[in-house]
Amino acid sequence: MKKVLKIAGFVFGALVLLVLCLVVWINFTALPTYESRSIPVSVPTDSAALALGQKVVQTECVICHMGADGKLSGAQFTKADNPFGEIWAANITRHPEKGLGRYSDGELAYLLRTGVKKDGIFAPFMMVPNMSDEHLGALIAYLRSDAPLVAASEADPPAPKYGFLAKALMKFGVYAPKIQEIKPVEAPELTDQVAYGKYLATAVFSCFECHSQSFETIDDYVPENTPGYFGGGNPVEDKSSNIVHSANITMSKDFGIGKWQEADFVRAVQTGQRPDGRVLNAMMPRYASLSEAEVAAIWAYLQTVPVLENDVQKLAKQ
């Protein structure tokens, strides 16, 4: 009996030592880095392309990168008590050293396609692997433009202080780029309403990222593989660091938007007003720049998404 207990003690001690070594490795060793490259990209300068890029920047980039100076100079994304750690969105103005001015067009395109920054660190929330080449070029064109929003700013947000969870996800490859051949990406035609709606909701405006189960389990490459796809419940920090659970926007009649009409959805997306007159949480961007045809395409696609009976209100009360 004593021999068995002794062996058990050795095994337990070995396991404890292994866990401690693993914790030390995760917490105190450097994050993995990847090769930063430059890829071919066509950056147009015509007014239509700039307007297209402006639509993406003003609806997506401003959410994280809007600074106190009214430019995309960076802001605090999460506080230190967040499981992911204290993370600041970067300065993405045209500043030649502190902003995107230090990137060539090709390097910036690679960052947006893969999430790999110039220093080799992976930035998962900067990744748009399924965005069309047209949208990508227009986005870069606007970031390079003389628009006041991207005028050079001296702001220098702190480097991320990742928490244990984020470090573990990065080191075990859960948060890691898929370095693969960069192939041309074309958007579906607007006339193919469902396909175009899916493209907008996943590749351009990334609606599924907030409106699924968790940021930790997002599949940027195959969005429909994301757990809780469009079923909401993702805990999102608002500007005061309070937790807001994203809405279920599947066609559940009890817990989603299954009782809404298309016009209700268009109004909610463009203005933030629900059919019952209530106003959507400020964390939901107002997509006033989207045309009714674009919002209608997203609505058409949501009709095809599997319904999830996820009671987000119940989560909010817990």
With CA atoms as reference, report the closest residue to 216 among 227, 201, 231. 227
| Residue 156: partners with Cβ closer than 8 Å, 6 or more residues away | 91, 98
For residues 197 and 312, membership in a common domain is answered with yes
Residue 96 has a CB neighbour count (10 Å cut-off) of 9
**pLDDT (tens digit, 9 = 90+) per residue, 114-169?**
999 999 999 878 889 999 999 999 999 999 999 999 999 999 999 889 888 888 88
Boundary of a domain, candidates 114, 138, 171? 171
Domain span including residue 200: 193-317
Q: Is residue 15 part of a domain?
A: no
Question: For the chain, how many structural domains are there in total?
Answer: 2
| Residue 246's CATH number | 1.10.760
Judgement on whether residues 144 and 227 belong to the same structural domain of the protein: no
The pLDDT assigned to 225 comes to: 96
Residue with tokens 């948060």: 175
- Of 110, 106, 82, 107, which is closest to residue 177 (Cα–Cα)? 110
Q: pLDDT for 76-102, tens place per residue? A: 888 888 778 888 999 999 999 999 999
Decide if 179 is inside a domain.
Answer: no
147 and 99 share a domain?
A: yes
pLDDT < 70 regions, the chain: 1-6, 8-9, 180, 315-318
In a domain, 86, yes or no: yes
Residue 78 is predicted with a pLDDT of 81
Handedness of CA 222, 294, 205, 147 (dihedral sign): positive
pLDDT at residue 197, as a whole number? 98
Task: Give the HSE-up count for residue 206: Cα atoms under 13 Å, Cβ half-sphere.
Answer: 22
- Are residues 76 and 106 located together in one domain of the fold? yes
222 with 307, same domain: the answer is yes
pLDDT the model gives residue 236: 84
Q: Quick one: pLDDT at residue 38?
A: 93
pLDDT at 42: 95
pLDDT score recorded for residue 311 = 94
Is the residue at 206 inside a domain?
Answer: yes
List C-alpha distances in Å: 279 to 9, 102, 244, 247: 60, 41, 14, 13
CA distance 175 to 166: 8
